Every structure is written in structure tokens, then in C-alpha cells.
Amino acid sequence: MLTANVPSYQPVSKSTTYLVVALGLGAMAFEGYDLIVYGAAVPALLAYHPWALTPGKVGLMGGAAFLGMFLGAPAAGWLSDRFGRRRLFISLLAFFSLMMILVSVVPTPLLFGLFRLLAGLAFGGIPPTAIAQTFEFSPPNRRVLFNSVMLSGFGIGAILAGVFGLTLMSHIGFRGLFAIGGLPLITLAPLAYFVLPESPNFTSKLSAAKLTPGVVAPKVESSWVGVLRGRAGLATVMFGIANFCSLQFSFALNTWLPQLMRGAGYPLGSALQLLLLLNIGALVGVLFFAWLAGKLGVRVVAPLMFVVAALALGLLGLHSPGSIIRSLVFIIGAAGLGSQSLLFSFMGTTYRQSSRATAVGAVSSVGHLGGATGPVVGALMVGAHLGLAKSLLVLAGIAVVSASAMLLVPRGVTPVEPAVELDAMNPGELGYPAHEAGR
């Protein structure tokens, strides 16, 4: 009986690694734009008389995309582990682009919410697929850095959403802003089709089915076993809680910060500038905290940053000069939104390769449920007239819960994966070797 040891990292050229990271960054940038532009469009949606929207309805419409992400993330993670990253990545890009185009032309709020929900199915699949690709094409000692750079695309897209909201809203309206989200259909998706390689690990798995006569690909446990069993199962629960809370407060803030600041007496232009500053802070935070995590460890830095964000949220509710308010908003973006990538890097270094995309997909799904409730939580706070200070304290408490859950993630989750025995199996069945022997 033969065995196969397929390493979790198979060396590739630097240019290939950079290409994979760049394509993932581009996909995350469009996802960040499509999700955050909704917050910039909220004042225009509330002022759009034909639809006669209330804050509650706007919150539900904003949550529709995250409900789709909740459903799409685990399915995409499983499909990615089973059938490869490349085709799924390209298909998701094309699908959410088409849905965003439809969002921009719908005549009713119901159809708007429906197509946002369908777009969310693809939004949920992009991160676990892109993270799995990035980890597999990156050398082990650069994984956290490259993954953080790739995920920084979300911040770039969020910044563009703020910029376009400030500069283009009066010219193209909220429909034009949403239509921009369809650009990957004619840009990034075709580019990825021609230049994106398949994961070397997945290619090795396909090759294993074509070995010498009598030797075929191995039978091993489901990738879900490596996500739900033993210490890995406890880690998955803690990551799920952390991701749920972090996305809940992030998207409550991104959706309702302009309206909360307007309610506190700020003009619309200044409120939208703060939303832009929030996401500039997120982009800076992604890169800075990736570097810091390389020095201190992601297990230390990730929860610490959520505590810092909670403190800044509490201080933001106090009556302070404009310069202090801007500084606090920047810190909240850097520590609270920017450190979100560290949570994904934390997950990526916790699970073995054979179940990594499944784990990230499952945890992302729970997180997106939190994201779906974030705009609703914000709508409830606005509808209850809590005011800026109390609303921000609620969000600070959510951030503290996220940090606490990360601190409870157990150590020593990933076992050493042995060589895989190649045994007989039914023709056409594709096995998945457990092979990542220590990172």
C-alpha cells in the first residue's frame, strides 16, 4: 500500500503569489465597496419619497446582504475544499456583480432587498475562498502578512464607497453608486479567468486520482470533522462568537454612523467624512496590525485591538472638539474594523489545510449573521432615540464580547497530520488527504 505526502505549501514563484494576493485584494475591494456603500446611501434612501422608507425598513434592507452571506459562506467554504478555489472564485465574482447591477435598477424596496440577499450569497463565499487561496500560495512565514494585505482590499473598497458617496451622490444618485458594484463582471472576473491558477494543493489532489494502476486517491475524514471535533470544535464556537459580534458592531457602525452623527448635530457632509475616516483607519489598521501581529503574535494582538476599539467608542460619545472626534473615529476604524483581518488570520493559522476553507466558511457564516443584525441593531437604536453616547456604548459592549471570545480560543487545536494511505476506492471518487504536518 502506497502513501502520499502532499505538503500544505508547495513552492511557487513570487510573481504567482503576488498575482493571487492581488486578485484576492481586488475581489475584497469590490466586496468592501458593495457592502459599505449602503451606509453612504442610507440618507438618500430615507429621503427617496417614492419608497417612503422608515429607519426600520432601511435596516432590514441593509441586513439582507448579510443574511445571504450567512447562507453562502459555509456552502462556499465546503465547495472550495471539495472542488477547488479557481472556478468558485471566478463564479462568485461574476454572480455578485450581476446582482449589484440588478440592485441598481429595481423599482421596489422588496426587489432591492431580494437582489441584495442574492448578492450576499456570493459576498459570503469570497472571503473563505480568497483566504484559502492566499494561504496555499504563500510561504508559511508570510501567511499572516499576505492574508492581511489581501483582506485590506475590503478597506480600500470601503474608502472608495465613502469617497464616491461624498462626490458622486448628487450626480448619479444611490442607483449609480450601486451600479458601480457591477464592474467586476467586465473587469476582474475576466482577468481572473485568464490568469488565476488553481491551488497547487487541489491540483495535487486531482493528480492523486491518476496515480499508478491500483493506486488511487485516499479516503479520509470529512473536512467538517476537523472543524467540529474536540478542541477544534471549541475553537470554532469561540471564533463564531467573536466574528458574530465583531461584524455586528462593524456594520451597525458603518451603516448608521452618518445618521447617528447627524442626530447629534453634525451636517451630512461632516457625517459622511467621518464614515470615510472610519474606513481609512480600517485600511491603515489592517497593515499596521498585521506587522504588529508578526512581532507579538496574532493571539495577543487581535483581542487587544477590539478592547482598544471599545474604549474609543465609549469616548466618542462624549462632547469633544472636532479634532478629538476625528482621532477617535480613526482609532475605531483601525482597531475595530482593521483588526477584523487578524481574526481571519487567527483562524487560518488554527486549522489544518484540509479543513481550513470549511472552517473559515463556517465561522464567516456565523459572522455574517451578526453582520445581518448590525444594521437592524443600529435601526433599533435610532428608532429608540438612544442618542449618540448610549448607542456607542452598546456597540462598545459588543466589541468587548468579541475580544473575550478570542481570548478563550484553546491552544494546540491543529494536530500533526500523518501521511495518507492510498487505498482502493470507487472510480471517480475524489479523496482529500490530511497532510499538513506542522506549519
In a domain? residue 433: no
* Least confident span in 38-42, 43-47, 227-231, 251-255: 227-231
The answer to whether position 431 is within a domain reads no
Residue 367 lies in a domain: yes
Phi, psi of 3 (to 5 degrees): -125, 155
**Is residue 75, in this structure, part of any structural domain at all?**
yes
Band of pLDDT at residue 438, cut at 50, 70 and 90: very low
Cα distances (Å, whole numbers) of residue 141 to 9, 147, 345, 430, 437: 11, 11, 12, 30, 15
Is residue 439 one of the residues assigned to a domain? no
Q: How many residues are given for the chain?
A: 439
> Residue 267's domain spans which residues?
2-422
Q: Residue 356 falls within a domain, yes or no?
A: yes
Task: Using CB atoms within 10 Å of the CB of residue 226, give its burial: 0 to 12 exposed, 13 to 18 middle, 19+ buried.
Answer: buried
Q: Supply the DSSP symbol for 380.
A: H
Better-scored residue on pLDDT, 336 or 424? 336
**pTM of this structure:** 0.70
Indicate which CATH number applies to the domain containing 402: 1.20.1250.20
Tell me the per-residue pLDDT of 361-371, one tens digit each, with 9 for 90 and over. Answer: 778 778 877 87
Q: What is the pLDDT of residues 81-90, one digit of tens each?
A: 677 788 899 9
Mean pLDDT for the chain overall: 79
Please indicate, yes or no, if residue 430 is contained in any of the structural domains.
Answer: no
- Position 156 in a domain: yes
Instruction: Identify the pLDDT of residue 15.
Output: 87
CA dihedral angle for residue 122, residue 169, residue 327, residue 302, rounded to 10 degrees? 0
User: How many structural domains comprise the chain?
Assistant: 1
The 10s digit of each residue's pLDDT in 55-70 is 888 888 887 887 888 8
* pLDDT in the model for residue 178: 94
